[in-house]
Amino acid sequence: MNTSESIINLIPALLNAQKEITFAAKDAENPHYKSKYANLESVIEAIKKPLNDNGIVFVQAFEVSQPGYLCLNTRLMHISGEWIEDFLQLPLQKADAQGYGSAATYARRYALSAITGLFQADDDGQEAVKPAPLTKDQVQAIDAANDIIHYFSAGDFDECYRVFDDEKDTEIRLKIWSELQPHSKIRSTLKKMASEKSQQSKEI
């Protein structure tokens, strides 16, 4: 999760909003599982007024993602200018307009519920998202990205760069870069280090 430099005003506002947020009504039916769940409209209805009454608005936008995946950014913004945001990336069941629309609706509902602390039954989740088996390259990229995140959290930026730079396969490097999409600070650091090392090479 990413935040503005300060969230001192946002936190108490979000706390008050969550005291008012209850449950989202289960008013949609999943015919495949013969069960009911709270649709996107019900989730928005449950959270919008409590958030707005406490000076908080939510914004959701889709980000560029690797083929076969959808990436959604959800941000809560306070009238003070403070904000928190997070990214949700999930695989598409079908790589067409219908598959994208289904995943987009599910992602918006799921992300809004998660970031606001709204409880909802996820009876339709299995239908909306059926992850495809990961390829060997994807597993390698995910492992490398997790290593980079770990070293970055520990403040070991040289090791971050080494993990990324050691991967010579262009496709896997692109996948690692995509996995790091929600971590803008890490990607900025890697770019800066690559530029510095390139300049040092020229000087030598």
For residue 179, the enclosing domain spans: 136-198
Instruction: Give pLDDT, residue 31.
Output: 42
Q: Which of 80, 111, 128 is the last residue of a domain?
A: 128
54 and 141, same domain (yes or no)? no
Instruction: Give pLDDT, residue 198.
Output: 78
The alpha carbon of residue 204 and the mean position of all alpha carbons in its chain are separated, in whole angstroms, by 41
Measured distance CA(50)–CA(169) in Å, rounded: 49
Instruction: Give pLDDT, residue 94.
Output: 75
150 and 177, same domain (yes or no)? yes
Give the E-state strand segments of 44-195 in sequence order: 56-63, 69-78, 83-91
110 and 92, same domain (yes or no)? yes
Measured distance CA(132)–CA(147) in Å, rounded: 23
Q: Is residue 106 part of a domain?
A: yes
165 and 102, same domain (yes or no)? no
- For the stretch 124-159, pLDDT in tens is 454 444 555 678 888 899 999 999 999 998 899 999
- For the stretch 43-100, pLDDT in tens is 898 899 999 999 999 999 988 777 788 889 999 999 999 999 999 888 887 777 777 8
Q: Which of 100, 128, 156 is the last residue of a domain?
A: 128
Instruction: Give pLDDT, residue 188.
Output: 92
Q: Tell me the CB-side half-sphere exposure of residue 69, using CA atoms within 13 A.
A: 18
* Token code pair at residue 7: 């969230």
Mean pLDDT of the chain: 83
75 and 165, same domain (yes or no)? no
